[in-house]
Structure 1
């Protein structure tokens, strides 16, 4: 009787276990999990101190005549999967180099200017990296100044 109990108790206890490797699916029949591909987030972007930020002399406000001010635009967050520092704006008709300034805090970032269709009063799309360096709200619609270099 003692041998019967010692044999049946472990067998009964293990019969409820599905995670025991020997009782589960053999390794050659298991499906491999697909790799997880993540979108860029604020954590995967370079830190602000690792990126060159354009600096202006402290004049208190931007001088429209000097520096090629193209205009002011409302910026929304562009495609977060695209790397780099860029702005898609109807303020220009050809690609070029420029900078954007967030008047709320005075920060500036050098960007690639990319033209889009639409009236000059239409909004623009700004890269995640540029929005982050400007310290502009990612979920808001900040008003920014666009300059041609």
Structure 2
């Protein structure tokens, strides 16, 4: 019985990890020569936070979270500074990790209709970060940049509940 549990757990882990690999479908004609999808370019962030939330794109050979997170230490310090007040709480969202090839500090959420400056708070850790609020098309869950998730100390593989504020 104990061996069966171990087998089932290992099988579930193997199936989960197989989805992470870049596997081309024989039926779709994909191959290793297919170009990697390019991240869509986001419009420039609001001027009042551009220096804090903007970052260069990661290098093409990036593989680790450190490689993809191109936000500087100075930006992290500025983004994690105590809020100055005058912000409006928009609500709570359950968020997932967004596209790691899109640099900077941002959240895509259905709580906003237009791009604007704001802040995220992760109550579990008591952390917050200045971010760019980007509208999310459709009804999907909110997506947060790799740099913002790391700054908030939120688990990258979890679905943390975050509080969203607009300036």
Tell me the TM-score normalized by structure 2: 0.56
* 1:98-113 pair list within 5 angstroms: 98-113=118-133
Matched, 1:136 2:154: yes
Going from structure 1 to structure 2, the CA distance change for 1:48 and 1:104 (only over 3 Å counts) comes to farther
Q: Mind listing any 5+ residue stretches in structure 1 that lack a counterpart?
A: 1-35, 58-62
* 1:47-126 pair list within 5 angstroms: 49-50=73-74, 51=76, 52=78, 53-56=80-83, 67-119=87-139, 122-126=140-144
Shift of 1:38: 1.7
Cα separation, 1, equivalents of 2:121 and 2:103:
19
Shift of 1:48: 7.5
Bigger-Rg structure (1/2): 1
Deviations 1:24-51 (A, max 9, x none): xxxxxxxxxxxx9423632233588432
Matched, 1:42 2:62: no
Q: Which runs of 4+ in 1 moved over 4 A?
A: 46-49
Q: Mind listing any 5+ residue stretches in structure 2 that lack a counterpart?
A: 1-58
Going from structure 1 to structure 2, the CA distance change for 1:101 and 1:48 (only over 3 Å counts) comes to farther
C-alpha contact (below 8 Å) 1:48/1:133 kept by paired residues: no
RMSD between superposed Cα atoms in Å: 2.5
Going from structure 1 to structure 2, the CA distance change for 1:48 and 1:131 (only over 3 Å counts) comes to farther
Cα separation, 2, equivalents of 1:54 and 1:104:
18
Alignment length (residue pairs): 105
Structure with more relative contact order (C-alpha pairs < 8 Å, separation 6 or more): 1
